[in-house]
Structure 1
Amino acid sequence: MDQAVLDFKTSRENKEQDTKLWVVASGKGGVGKTFVSTSLGITLSKLGHSVAIVDLDLSGSNVHTVLGLSPSHMNIRHYFEGAKTLQELVIPTPFPHLSYVQGFWDSWTPTDFSYTQIQNLIPELKKLRADYVIVDMGAGALEAHLELFKAADEKFLITTPEPTSIEKTYRFIESFVCHSLKANATPDAYGSMISTLRNHRQRTLAKPFSFRSYLKDASGIHCDFFEALSSTPVRLIVNSSRNQANEELGFSMKSVCNKYYDLGIDYAGSIDYDNAVWQSVRVREHVLVAQPFTPLAGQFLATCKQLIAPEELRAVV
């Protein structure tokens, strides 16, 4: 049997299932979400963990392309149609400990996920036989995206230094907060909050909008969302950083989220712009495989170790 398959099938043997769900999202497309998803997966696998990457990007399924693989005729469409279990769709890769689930690529009609489909999918993702399941999610703040993002053990939000990306990132965060509060609000109270938020957007409020201040004065919404999220904060990553100002952008966005959304996000760091990234896609060899000892590889290694083994980083002098 192929060693990659054997590693994947036995990684959880004689060990209690404790799969961690990592979800990678973005406010808009084209920010390098799939590159980040696959890079996190490859880095975790190099650290000896079994990883399954699930491609849920309906607008452009290309995890297989970034990994340098041909598309499989078996893809996640078969799960949603009830033809296969999610585990049956897991495909081994040439990389030890790393597998993936092919996204939609053979659908010639518009496809979308319903809220109910995503709710049913979440427990299936956590049943996959892997230490880590990384979901490469489609761009935008759709309700199904927000529900999956909320359920993640680690929530990665990818942006770039471009103004359009920054703006869409803020809109995604606002939508995520509203979606998370909706489950603990009466319809009238939720509608009133959305109306107040729109007035804030139109600059018709007497003072800047604050979720925490609003909820303190409002009735009908009861939630410890902001306190609960501190254990699993949104992890912001600035991709395609070209200079010091780009690297510091994440700290500025973190400050804005704290001031206006009362949301303590974590700035996980920046990823350098590197021509080798798009060149690696053309030659169908992931840049972390072709160039495993570059500063780019070191940035993903530091990010993963900070999340799974921070004591190792503290031990470095």
Structure 2
Amino acid sequence: MERDFENDNVEALTFKNSSDKPHQAKLWVVASGKGGVGKTFVSSSLGLTLSKLGHSVVVVDLDLSGANVHTVYGMNPSHMNIRHFFEGVKTLQELVIPTQFSRLSYVQGFWDSWTPIDFSMAQIENLVPQLKSLRADYVIVDLGAGALEPHLNLFRAADEKFLVTTPEPTSIEKTYRFIESYVCHSLKENATPDAYGNMISTLRSHRQRTLAKPFSFRSYLKDQTGIHYDFFENLTTSPVRLIVNSARSQTECDLGHSMKSVCNKYYDLGLDFLSSIDYDNAVWQSVKGREHVLIAQPFTPLAGQFLATCKQLIAPEELRAVV
């Protein structure tokens, strides 16, 4: 096949900005409070949708409990996976595997996990710049479930932070716990041990409704001398984006608005309800057939919801033009 060198040159230029600094991909991290909420489905769908919009994308599988991004893309497991990066055998770029879809690649997760796996803080700190230096416009990290410290560190480092829930009570509860953990984790490194301990004690009393007066988390932090406080201001520019997956009714579609209101009322915390994704029986059928549902059924409402979600983040002016 004859290569298009003009396109190659254009692509090369996209990895430099006007100040000739090294390219940095936009880092999107997808997390959840519990497993089974469709986090990998959301990650893979965001990746496919961005690639259809003309962007180069790498999806990185960091689900320690069951890496399966390769499966949802219809790919066979590779003998090379992200373990080889953490062991120092390969660079992260060398582990990028192209899919059959144009502009879409992935890094396979821990597929050969016969022994327990864990991340050290040093490994995570090293991973973040490596993720952003991958040759892509967007890097999407599919995290494992739960508010583990490595998950929270990666979540905090992301340009876009996605938190996936389903309408089930267990998932909703775990989502709130993840948000609480993220807030506390983000404040810990900028607090003295005493101030941090007092904050945790106050939050616990607030949950148990034993405080003597109405509680505002924002006001509480402003009054504390042992906590360097700019967390809420940072959330304005880099908010947590909530996605409600597998919604079966209008009430479930509107769940995100209620969760946003709860976070504002109890923590004075801004949460961006990004979108709800309809339940579609074709999703599990497509996984069974090893063909992603957005490829098998590209013109369904489901595909339209992911298209609107991605455009809302990368080209909101297009949506305003439609309205």
The aligned amino acid for 2:203 is: L
Check if 1:59 corresponds to 2:69.
no
Q: 1:197·1:209 contact (CA, 8 Å) conserved in 2?
A: no
Q: How far apart, in 2, do the equivalents of 1:102 and 1:167 lie?
A: 30
Which 5+ residue runs of structure 2 have no aligned equivalent? 17-22
Percent same amino acid among aligned pairs?
A: 79
The aligned amino acid for 1:65 is: T
2:151 pairs with one of 145, 150, 168: 145
2:229 pairs with one of 223, 226, 229: 223
Deviates more, 1:57-66 or 1:213-222: 213-222
Q: How far apart, in 1, do the equivalents of 2:263 and 2:276 lie?
A: 17
Query: How does 1:136-285 map onto structure 2 within 5 Å?
Result: 136-207=142-213, 209-285=215-291
Measure how far apart 1:38 and its partner are: 0.2
2:136 pairs with one of 118, 127, 130: 130
Q: 1:77·1:103 contact (CA, 8 Å) conserved in 2?
A: yes
Q: 1:11·1:50 contact (CA, 8 Å) conserved in 2?
A: no
2:306 pairs with one of 296, 300, 317: 300
Q: How far apart, in 1, do the equivalents of 2:146 and 2:2 lie?
A: 38
In structure 1, the partner of 2:13 is 14
TM-score normalized by the length of structure 2 = 0.94
Against the structure 1 CA distance between its residues 75 and 209, is the aligned structure 2 distance closer, same or farther, given a 3 Å change threshold?
A: farther
User: What does the per-residue CA deviation read over 1:43-99, in whole Å, with 9 as the maximum and x for residues that have no partner?
Assistant: 000000000000000011010111111111100000000000000000000000000
The aligned amino acid for 2:98 is: P
Q: How far apart, in 2, do the equivalents of 1:51 and 1:203 lie?
A: 46
Q: 2:64·2:109 contact (CA, 8 Å) conserved in 1?
A: yes
Structure 1 SS opposite 2:163: strand
Q: 2:24·2:134 contact (CA, 8 Å) conserved in 1?
A: no
1:99 pairs with one of 105, 113, 123: 105
Q: 1:157·1:234 contact (CA, 8 Å) conserved in 2?
A: yes
Measure how far apart 1:207 and its partner are: 3.8
Deviates more, 1:27-36 or 1:12-21: 12-21
Q: 1:52·1:133 contact (CA, 8 Å) conserved in 2?
A: yes
The aligned amino acid for 2:230 is: D
Q: 1:23·1:136 contact (CA, 8 Å) conserved in 2?
A: yes
In structure 1, the partner of 2:20 is none
Q: How far apart, in 2, do the equivalents of 1:134 and 1:266 lie?
A: 19
User: What does the per-residue CA deviation read over 1:169-226, in whole Å, with 9 as the maximum and x for residues that have no partner?
Assistant: 0000000000111121111111111122222233322245432121122220012110
Q: How far apart, in 2, do the equivalents of 1:303 and 1:179 lie?
A: 28
Q: How far apart, in 2, do the equivalents of 1:98 and 1:298 lie?
A: 19
Which 5+ residue runs of structure 1 have no aligned equivalent? none
Measure how far apart 1:11 and its partner are: 7.4
Q: 2:222·2:229 contact (CA, 8 Å) conserved in 1?
A: no
User: What does the per-residue CA deviation read over 1:240-291, in whole Å, with 9 as the maximum and x for residues that have no partner?
Assistant: 0000100110000001111112211111110000000000000000000000
Count of paired positions:
315
Measure how far apart 1:12 and its partner are: 4.1
Superposition misfits of 4+ residues, deviation over 6 angstroms? 8-11
The aligned amino acid for 1:88 is: E
Q: 1:11·1:130 contact (CA, 8 Å) conserved in 2?
A: no
Measure how far apart 1:314 and its partner are: 0.9
TM-score normalized by the length of structure 1 = 0.95
